[in-house]
Amino acid sequence: MNSKLVMNGPVVLIRGAGEQASGVGWALAKAGFRVVMTEVAEPLMVRWPVCFGTAIEEGRWKVEEITACRIASPTSDCETAWKAGEIPVLVDPDLKTLPELNPSILVDAIMAKRNMGTKQSMAPLTIGLGPGFTAGEDVDVVIETNRGHHLGRIIYSGPAQPNTGIPGEVKGISKERVVYSTKTGVFKAKRAIGEQVLAGDCLGEIEDGIEKTEVVSLINGVLRGLLRTNTQISENVKIGDIDPRGNEEYCWTISEKARAIGAAVLLCILECGIISPLRLKG
């Protein structure tokens, strides 16, 4: 098998390059699509080791053998990246480069729980992930992102399930596994992703210029996600993710949820007749 990724299919623009977006980008790139991703200048990514958006700060970033590279201009840089078997990522949250990219497919994977401006007219096929989208109105298709029986369901009419505001259960534990900020300030990490932590352990501190406030784990488990140190945050922002299963491997690989969503998007594209699966590798 050729180790170099062949990306010569239709252009897929993915809004967002966080955890779930990266699962989608990974699946579509493996299938041969020319994937390009957009992000904000300073993305907040708790599970940054498995996010192609990490390339915004690092310049290049690899997730499960697929490399993303930050680009400045889509006009020439995208083709260069695709020929190298890489996913180009650029800072363009408002999609000012949409006319240049001219995608066949647009996937809104920002996961903001609301539509941040995506319209059906932006591409021949538009797909929205999770709550905030209505299939047949603001996008063509919606993919269910809520954990459980309907995860990955392809919705051709109507919305996804409403946002519950409660993290999905992992080993019977829900909201306690996710750590949020209690105030605005600069986050200083004191632990590292992949470490085993106990309930009450200090994961980091938030400095607001007056005092330091500790951020602690509420459960035992492996630290699967943690914001990078010196990140500016506001109140009630997700800071960390503790996995009660305790398996360190899960910290460095795409989650089952992101894989399911990525597979659903790929199936949706094939089902909508954008391209034949026999032509993907060309």
| pLDDT for residue 170 | 83
What CA–CA distance (Å, rounded) separates 163 from 110? 14
* SS3 at position 50: helix
pLDDT higher than threshold 50 for residue 1: no
3-class secondary structure, 75: helix
pLDDT digits 0-9 by tens, 83-100: 999 999 999 999 999 999
**Residue found by looking up tokens 């269910």 in the block:** 144
Question: Is the confidence at residue 278, as pLDDT, over 70?
Answer: no
Q: Is the model more confident about 11 or about 167?
A: 11
Q: What is the pLDDT of residue 282?
A: 44
Tokens of 90: 């650029």
Sorted by where each starts, the structural domains of the chain and their CATH numbers stand as 11-164+255-279 (3.40.50), 175-244 (2.40.50.100)
- Mean pLDDT score across all residues of the chain: 93
Q: 151-187: per-residue pLDDT in tens?
A: 999 999 999 999 888 887 888 888 899 999 999 999 9
Q: Are 10 and 275 in contact (CB under 8 A)?
A: yes
State residue 3's pLDDT score. 62
Q: What is the 3-state secondary structure (H, E, C) of 197-256?
A: ECCCCEEEEEECCCCEEEEECCCCEEEEEECCCCEEECCCCEEEEEECCCCHHHHCCCCH
pLDDT at 280 over 70: no
- Which tokens is 37 given? 């991703």
What pLDDT sits at residue 272?
87
pLDDT in tens, 217-245: 999 999 999 999 999 999 999 999 999 99
Q: Residues 244-281, buried b or exposed e (16+ Cβ, 10 A)?
A: beeeeebbeebbebbbbbbbbbbebbeebebbeeeebe
Tokens of 167: 């993290």
pLDDT higher than threshold 60 for residue 276: no
Average pLDDT over residues 138-163: 95
Q: What b/e readout covers 24-52, taking b as 16+ CB neighbours within 10 angstroms?
A: bbbbbbbbbbbbbbbbeeebbbbbbbbbb
**What pLDDT score was predicted for residue 155?**
97
As a whole number, mean pLDDT of residues 125-153 equals: 96
pLDDT digits (tens, 9 = 90+) for 101-118: 999 999 999 999 999 999
What is the rounded average pLDDT of the residues 55-81?
95
CA dihedral 233, 238, 242, 245 (to 10 degrees): -150
DSSP category for residue 73: -
Q: What secondary structure letter does DSSP report for 85?
A: T
Q: What's the token pair of residue 34? A: 């020319």
pLDDT band at 281 (very low <50, low <70, confident <90, very high): very low
Closest CA to 159 of 146, 147, 171, 170: 146
Percent of the chain scoring above 90 in pLDDT: 86
Radius of gyration in angstroms for the set of CA atoms belonging to the chain, rounded to a whole number: 19
Percent of the chain with pLDDT over 70: 96
Residues 223, 264: contact at Cβ < 8 Å? no
Q: What secondary structure does DSSP assign to 103-114, as a single string? A: -SEEEE----SS
Q: Tell whether the model's pLDDT for residue 50 goes beyond 70.
A: yes
- 13 pLDDT above the threshold of 70: yes
